[in-house]
Structure 1
């Protein structure tokens, strides 16, 4: 499949998606999001990828919606008022939900600014690596809008309510180091080491117990808002599923035989 706005690469069980509008700082419009949805569905359905890595081309990860290209508008229909939330419903939110629902690990490598919706997609990664030149920005208030694409759900859980609310209401940049200190991301790297580290991590995950990874990522999100007793029930059901995988058999065998594991992802 040919893409105009993204790059799609597969190697060693890792699918790498690269936002590829560097002249526009990888700003998002409906065409970009539609290609991303199709690519993520391809990762989900084809079954050859065991890890997804998302990054951006050029000096930015993603500057958010392409305001010049209509990326923030959905139209109100007829002569009615505009509906700035329509495109969220039809494109931006379905992509976020697809990323959360993936049956494989999802890594983001943040090579530069991650603003607006780009900040949401950046922080949606199971593991987020950021270059020292990266920063995170909730810029919505600067144009009279409210945070979207899951920001008001994710950021308070990552950084805490006080920090998330200030970040959203003040519209200030959060550096990669500050994001690390706040617990928003996993690691900060030098710019020239970012993709080497991200690729090494992706290959490691691609060689691991894929179904267990899926249960871990689903279990964490399911349990975030649950009482302990319900969380324990989810863990119990997930362990039932994990214990029936071929990778569990392989992991125990490798441990007993004192040899490296050879997980198949099944």
Structure 2
């Protein structure tokens, strides 16, 4: 008898030093997500938030990143559609608000909700065989899973409209040209490239990076005056955290080791 995998097997969380990795492992459906796996993803993100991790890598197995929502086995439910959609988008909101840098490691398709997962990361590393698209209008749907917020910020308003209206599937080179991808690498180089990137991010001052993420994510909502005021508050926090460490190491000609601890 074939043993069924559990949602916990299909979305796994692992820690190695200061690097957390969440892996979607549902290759039979190109890592498309169902209700149970969205639940597990939300739980894992809560665990990462409470951990000592300094960076999160989000990836998939089997030459796929995430092909969106798994519609192959819809369950009958009395939940209102708004509640069902809220269940899906809750982990995406948590991913966007995660107080540490997130790297999406993309091989194969990242479409629909999978595109939103990738764009919710701070940085995207993709192989040359990755593919990106919204897919929603092909099904008579408008944008969801946060893509109406994410796309204009990443690629600009007109290109976001192009991707929404036409639901084109972009190859990796075009996605890189449009800014959906930060780095484009050959398939056999993505693992070492992403591992090195994660270590570099983990070595960065964690509080300063967290504050940078907050400043940049909210920059569109602030006036220049408000942005400068927020920056000033952030710098005061840094002056009592890792800035003295950097100053002392520079004076000794050494590379600083950042702890993210308050020194006052």
Fold match (TM-score > 0.5): yes
Q: Select between 96-105 and 9-18 the one with higher mean Cα deviation.
A: 96-105
Q: How does 1:1-266 map to 2 (within 5 A)?
A: 3-45=8-50, 47-70=51-74, 83=81, 85-89=82-86, 91-245=87-241, 247-266=242-261
Task: Tell me, yes or no, if the aligned pair for 1:6 and 1:18 is still in contact at 8 Å.
Answer: yes
Task: Tell me, yes or no, if the aligned pair for 1:12 and 1:206 is still in contact at 8 Å.
Answer: no
Q: Is the alpha carbon distance of 1:171 and 1:211 closer, same or farther for their aligned partners in structure 2, counting shifts above 3 Å?
A: same
CA distance in 1, matches of 2:220, 2:170: 24
CA distance in 1, matches of 2:203, 2:157: 36
Q: Deviations for 1:41-74, whole angstroms, at most 9, x for unmatched residues?
A: 00111x2211100000112100000011239x97
Q: Deviations for 1:71-120, whole angstroms, at most 9, x for unmatched residues?
A: 9x97665xxxxx3x43221x222111211222221111011100101100
**Count of aligned positions:** 255
CA distance in 1, matches of 2:203, 2:121: 18
User: Structure 1 regions of 5+ residues with no counterpart?
Assistant: 78-82
Calculate the TM-score normalised by the size of structure 1.
Answer: 0.91
User: Structure 2 regions of 5+ residues with no counterpart?
Assistant: 1-6
Calculate the TM-score normalised by the size of structure 2.
Answer: 0.92
Matching residue of 2:3: none
Deviation at 1:154?
0.9
Task: Tell me, yes or no, if the aligned pair for 1:114 and 1:136 is still in contact at 8 Å.
Answer: yes
Matching residue of 1:80: none
Task: Tell me, yes or no, if the aligned pair for 2:8 and 2:37 is still in contact at 8 Å.
Answer: no
Say which SS state the counterpart of residue 188 (structure 1) adopts: strand
Say which SS state the counterpart of residue 158 (structure 1) adopts: helix
Q: Select between 142-151 and 224-233 the one with higher mean Cα deviation.
A: 224-233
Root mean square deviation, CA, Å? 1.7
Q: Is the alpha carbon distance of 1:74 and 1:120 closer, same or farther for their aligned partners in structure 2, counting shifts above 3 Å?
A: farther
